[in-house]
Amino acid sequence: MKKQIRKLTEKEYDDFAILANGAYPGLNAEKWLAAHINVSPDENLHGVYASDKLVAGMRTFDFRMNFNGTEIAAGGVGMIAVDLLHKKERNAYQLMQYFLKEYDESGTNIVMLNPFKVTFYRKMGFGMGTKSYQFHMHPREFINFRAKEHLKELSIEDREKVRECYNRIYAITHGMTRRPNTERELGRPFQFGRVIGYIEDGNLKGYMVFSSEEEELHIHELFFETPLVMKEFSTFLHSQADQFSNVIINSNHDDIIHMVNSPESKETPMTDFPSNVEPKHIAHLGAGVMFRIINGQRFFKDLMEKGHRFGRETVSLKLSITDEFFPQNSSAIIIDVVKGTLKEVRNEGIYDVELKINVSEFSSLVMGAVNLRTLQKWGLSELSESSYVRTLTSLFSTDNLPVVTKAF
């Protein structure tokens, strides 16, 4: 059966909604998807057609990402759906091949997704990103700093200030994506519930989006520019102890455990530890966004042109990348770094050390989601000179693990 993969037109959005509803029960895509795509210039729908019938599809995203201080283009993919009668026909495989090719041809070097099954996407060259934590804490565990005079409930009229605050935090946070100036994105925080902001001298310096369900308070977004902002949010949460028994926070960071009295949840204690003391449960843990480099050579060249720095190291590194799913990305790249400045990207010549690595681990490495020492420990990379482990670990280190707050 001859198949065609292409971008969908507006009149085909309803067909995609039916397809997506079949793959994701409860999605109700027919109620919102078409209108959303029409007002979101950075999003598109693509489909696989067999005999003029839509049998599979996906939603793609054009992002601006903060790559450790340098803004780069990034692609995203989600809502991959296959008609029930057309499963096991390699439709998802063909969609992902098409997705990588489209973004490679557009000049984008990195893409990402939220995995429904990690092993499925690892086989396609996606590498693990930062883990996702979900904390369940009693409000009284948040410290009462006895200060919340700067907090104010925000309304939709404050949406531009909220977006500007978000984007200031984006500008200093590795992995985050920029929130564009569209009506849909401007209104996004207000769709989830109430929005509390920290305002000082007329400036919004942080905000929290939350909703409630019975005795639980769910925090959907939490951004703050200074510790003083977070102290007032902490006081606010502490004051909710008379109404709520649980505060639920999703985060790429586990460092919140250091600024509460106790991060202990009400979940069952962890068992089967070698000591007599059972560690207390503090968070659910899940796989976060996965990343993939789709053009390694251009990735480094673009960073070089933008003056991106790689620590303070000096080294000539040969990267031998294996990419079976997207073979045009399999290549040998030599990068010359002098005191952290990327001076040259080439294909041949002399070098100090060679690193042989699969594209999935390479993607995690350059994003700072894993370091080279760990990859070497588990046999996931091969180094020609083991004495360079420390240098290369430092070379690819990032100030923080990548943070992705955009739902897609």
What pLDDT, on a 0 to 100 scale, did the predictor assign at position 220?
96
User: CA 47 → CA 71, 124, 338, distances in Å?
Assistant: 30, 19, 46
What pLDDT, on a 0 to 100 scale, did the predictor assign at position 296?
97
**How does DSSP classify residue 192?**
S
What pLDDT, on a 0 to 100 scale, did the predictor assign at position 273?
65
Cα atoms found within 13 Å of the Cα of residue 126, Cβ hemisphere only: 27
CATH architecture of the domain covering 295-395: 2-Layer Sandwich (3.30)
What pLDDT, on a 0 to 100 scale, did the predictor assign at position 274?
63
Provide the residue type at 127 as one letter: G
pLDDT, tens digit (0-9, with 9 covering 90-100), for 89-116: 999 999 999 999 999 999 999 999 999 8
| C-alpha dihedral (70, 129, 75, 323), degrees to nearest 10 | 110
296-305 and 359-366 helices cross at what angle (nearest 10)? 20
Q: Do residues 347 and 332 lie in contact, with contact meaning Cβ atoms separated by under 8 Å? A: yes
Domain borders along the chain are 3-108, 134-286, 295-395
159-170 and 183-191 helices cross at what angle (nearest 10)? 90
Q: Do residues 136 and 248 lie in contact, with contact meaning Cβ atoms separated by under 8 Å? A: yes
Low pLDDT (below 70) residues in the chain: 1, 268-277
DSSP H or E stretch at residue 194: strand 194-200
Does the domain spanning 3-108 belong to CATH 3.40.630.30? yes
Provide the residue type at 105 as one letter: E
Q: Do residues 308 and 67 lie in contact, with contact meaning Cβ atoms separated by under 8 Å? A: yes
pLDDT, tens digit (0-9, with 9 covering 90-100), for 160-195: 999 999 999 999 999 999 999 988 889 999 999 999
Q: Do residues 334 and 351 lie in contact, with contact meaning Cβ atoms separated by under 8 Å? A: yes
Cα atoms found within 13 Å of the Cα of residue 269, Cβ hemisphere only: 8
What pLDDT, on a 0 to 100 scale, did the predictor assign at position 250?
93
Task: State how far the Cα of 121 lies from the Cα of 107, in Å rounded to an integer.
Answer: 22
User: CA 405 → CA 177, 220, 319, distances in Å?
Assistant: 8, 10, 30
Task: State how far the Cα of 112 lies from the Cα of 396, in Å rounded to an integer.
Answer: 19
Task: State how far the Cα of 13 lies from the Cα of 267, in Å rounded to an integer.
Answer: 43
CATH of domain 134-286: 3.40.630.30
